[in-house]
Chain A
């Protein structure tokens, strides 16, 4: 039963307790080392020259003068980066995104990079590089890009997912369809049909720590990379591939990460930093400025969505339709697999039990930075559209929006809009919890309104390795490969402590570099605690088997008579009743004489992290004179599985909600007619500050995941999905305007109020 992952209903000793995280002291004293906090002897400073044009052919790059500047040690353009991707389109796009090849595809696209002895010299060198551009027509809006007269960005891009294959290239690179039943029939059966279109502007993950790395390539072809990342193994494979290095010869060490949220699952400056180091034969430090982060890392998609929902008078939704147009920047899709609109199309009606549903995802290229994942990628935008429309249907029918959702909520046996039939799921429980929550009965003041919305996201497992080593004093070292984005080292230590039956303080977890473990997938898809937790359970069980064997040797009895209980080996049976139990420390102390170091190890691909549902309640106050909107009360209710460390689960729920609130009310990429990003800084790209938000209440519904020994489910992403619509619905209830464009910033709300007055 060593690898049995099924849920064990046991009395837990340490799991669920709110312990102090092991990296806490380092982080409150400034000792913790992030990407830019590391320095290598003799290191050079790298700076990037970036295109000031949204779309331009690079006619010529002259680096001669820059190369002659004293202190400049290497300059890289695409000429120094041969295409070694061997037909892998995703890798090739990544290479081109790191450094323009013949064409600049967005404002901020890197066209050259310099490594020099200091920042001043590098800055001077950038000024000496002469780039001749031939400006090409550009397009930055997703709907504009689909118009017949739009400039076609790639003449080799023919839409996939349509039959027959198109004869002309276009900016539409994929069409995906999901659903079941017959929506036309469903709409015909409906008493009420609401159709509406929505737009969501582009947002950035907004991690406070910019991308940073120190790259060092040696003359023998081996290399080292210190980097802030959500997946150091993924970065290793990608960098090695792009640079033509053997994967095992590149050692990647992850720093502490200052926020990622999906934006640090891809490489941005790292391959070029390595290339500069290789050319200069010295370590190279590359750090993005905040402006570069906005212009040239991976924001979320901007979108244009049509939704149509039909329902009977009794509240049964008879059909749901959505057409989603998402832009992915200048390159097709996510890394192999699903493009962004397709993912959105899958999640669109996931909360509902529909007999007839059809969703179409249209994925589009534009001259904007390459889109990367942002916490439940693609889901918040379509949830805004669907959940707003659901409220409109409820209003038309004269039914409470919450009750309409309860009536049509997905449950076990529902065919999900993305295909499979659901097993037991938690949407019903979260809606019931909303109904019973005191927030729903709190009094509202003038110009205040209350809204609610649901959200859904997948959670994933993925390749995971873990090592559990027992020192001779009985203390335990955990080496894991999943990056700790929010405190998972504490949770993983709790899991090891629970399995071994020892105090939490006896365990120390740390993230191993790529030389210490086999491949670990990136920390995304809410998989960190779930996957590494599972691997640690199995590693601990393996260690326990070895501990029993060692105890048997120490006692000179058969191992079958040894059990592990409460952190001790016990001899079972009347024959051995005189034998005193041995603690972990007792056995570990004898390890050198009983067979050597005691360890457990696990490589696995845990799956079945379960799907996650959430329902949010939001009260806003709208100032009708300025359009300014404030969130006055917010509650997050999420089906989160077993909370290993409840405080950190609450933290994930609150953090995701805050990001969703910023997305809903204020954040957007503003592009000029020249195709340039106008607000690449935290002043004008306004994320929520402390005074914008109230306390965020959380309710964790611990519905255990039957496929994990402790019932753990993925938890980190879902809470960003409901806020956009929760706020849209609250604004509608506060001042009577239905917002269809995020962010719902003061000018937009004022305009909507004026239109309402006029009509």
Chain B
């Protein structure tokens, strides 16, 4: 079967690529576009290391076809920092040692970002269940949860400051 032409937006940039119809979005991102921040840990949607957002929704890119990206918006880890400024989650992961080998880190950051966008004050249990789709073998998750908690608190305080400024 002939290759499929895909027109999509990745981290805000318009991108076009061609791929075989059966190729996963994970493979298209890594092998055709050189975006190796997504990782293949299992290829079957069980480990979350390939997590991206598709139109804002957290998905495993190994379970999405490259062709399905046509006309949609993709966000990957490469787009998380803006103009060289790290996202508070990225800062706190480093600060709280929420990574050891780091292979699962991009996936966790995507999942945590989506969580905090939906819930700015998650409980420990809510954090743990939101991240249950991402496997980590090095950390035991302790410092990952603490980093997300610290970020949530920080971002709430920043929001408070912003809304106070708006009012005044």
Footprint of B on A, CB under 8 Å? 18, 20-21, 23-34, 36-37, 120, 205-210, 256-261, 287, 289-290, 485-487, 647-648, 650-652, 654-655, 657-659, 681-683, 687-691, 693, 695-696
Contacts and interface: CB of A to CB of B under 8 A. Distances in A.
B132 A648 contact: no
A258 B103 contact: yes
B137 A30 contact: no
A658 B41 CA distance: 19
Contact of B44 (A24, A260, A290, A696): A290
B105 A27 contact: yes
A208 B104 CA distance: 7
Nearest to B31: A39
B97 A208 contact: no
The 9 closest A-B pairs by CB, nearest first: A30-B37, A258-B103, A658-B140, A27-B102, A682-B46, A24-B94, A30-B77, A654-B140, A28-B90
B67 interface: no
A496 to B, nearest CB: 20
Interface in B19-54: 20, 30, 35-44, 46-47, 49
Residue in B81, B100, B102 with the greatest tally of chain A CB atoms within 10 Å? B102
A693 B100 contact: no
B59 interface: no
Residue in A37, A260, A655 with the greatest tally of chain B CB atoms within 10 Å? A655
A289 B43 contact: yes
Residue in A258, A658, A696 with the greatest tally of chain B CB atoms within 10 Å? A258
Contact of B40 (A205, A210, A256, A486): A210
A410 B134 CA distance: 41
Contacts of A27: 99, 102, 105
A695 B37 CA distance: 28
Contacts of B36: 30, 33, 36-37
Nearest to B106: A30
Contacts of B101: 207-209, 256-260, 485-486
Given A30-B36, A655-B138, A24 B99 contact: yes
B78 A29 contact: yes
Contacts of B103: 34, 207-209, 256, 258-259
Contacts of B81: 29
8 contacts: A28-B90, A28-B109, A29-B78, A210-B41, A258-B39, A258-B101, A290-B42, A487-B100
Contacts, number: 178
A491 B24 CA distance: 39
A32 B102 contact: yes
Nearest to A285: B31
B106 A655 contact: no
Nearest to A648: B97
Contacts of B144: 690
Given A690-B144, A691-B132, A681 B46 contact: yes
A142 B10 CA distance: 52
B39 A658 contact: no
A731 B129 CA distance: 24
Nearest to A646: B97
Contact of B139 (A34, A654, A683): A654
Given A29-B80, A32-B102, A208 B39 contact: yes
B86 A208 contact: no
Main secondary structure of the interface of A (DSSP, over half): loop
Interface string B121-160: 0000101110111111111111111100000000000000
Given A24-B94, A30-B36, A208 B106 contact: no
B interface, size bucket: 35 or more
Interface in B96-121: 96-97, 99-106, 109
A37 B102 CA distance: 14
Residue in B30, B42, B43, B145 with the greatest tally of chain A CB atoms within 10 Å? B42
Main secondary structure of the interface of B (DSSP, over half): loop
Given A290-B42, A696-B140, A28 B135 contact: no
B61 interface: no
Given A210-B40, A651-B138, A485 B100 contact: yes
B76 interface: yes
Contacts of A21: 94, 97
Nearest to A719: B140
Given A208-B41, A290-B43, A689-B133, 8 more contacts: A29-B81, A30-B35, A34-B103, A37-B36, A256-B103, A259-B101, A655-B137, A658-B141
Contacts of A658: 137, 139-141
Contacts of B145: 690, 695
B16 interface: no
B137 A208 contact: yes
Given A209-B103, A682-B42, A259 B137 contact: yes
Contacts of A205: 137
Given A25-B86, A30-B106, A37-B36, A207 B44 contact: no
Nearest to B94: A24
A30 B78 CA distance: 6
Contacts of A689: 131-135, 141
A485 B137 CA distance: 12
B95 interface: yes
Contacts of A261: 137
Given A37-B36, A654-B143, A657-B140, A647 B97 contact: yes
Nearest to A287: B40
Contact of B131 (A648, A681, A690): A690
Nearest to A293: B42
Contacts of B142: 654, 693, 695-696
A693 B35 CA distance: 32
B99 A28 contact: yes
Contacts of A650: 97, 143
Contacts of B78: 29-30
A655 B139 contact: yes
Nearest to B47: A682
Nearest to A645: B97
Nearest to B38: A30
Contacts of B109: 28
A260 B101 CA distance: 9
B94 A25 contact: yes
Contacts of B41: 208-210, 258, 290, 682
B90 A683 contact: no
A652 B97 CA distance: 11
Nearest to B44: A681
Contacts of B97: 18, 21, 487, 647-648, 650-651
Nearest to A654: B140
Nearest to A30: B37
A124 to B, nearest CB: 13
Residue in B77, B94, B138, B146 with the greatest tally of chain A CB atoms within 10 Å? B138
Contacts of A206: 137
A259 B49 CA distance: 13
A431 B103 CA distance: 35
A614 to B, nearest CB: 14
A696 B138 CA distance: 13
Contacts of B127: 690
Contacts of B20: 120
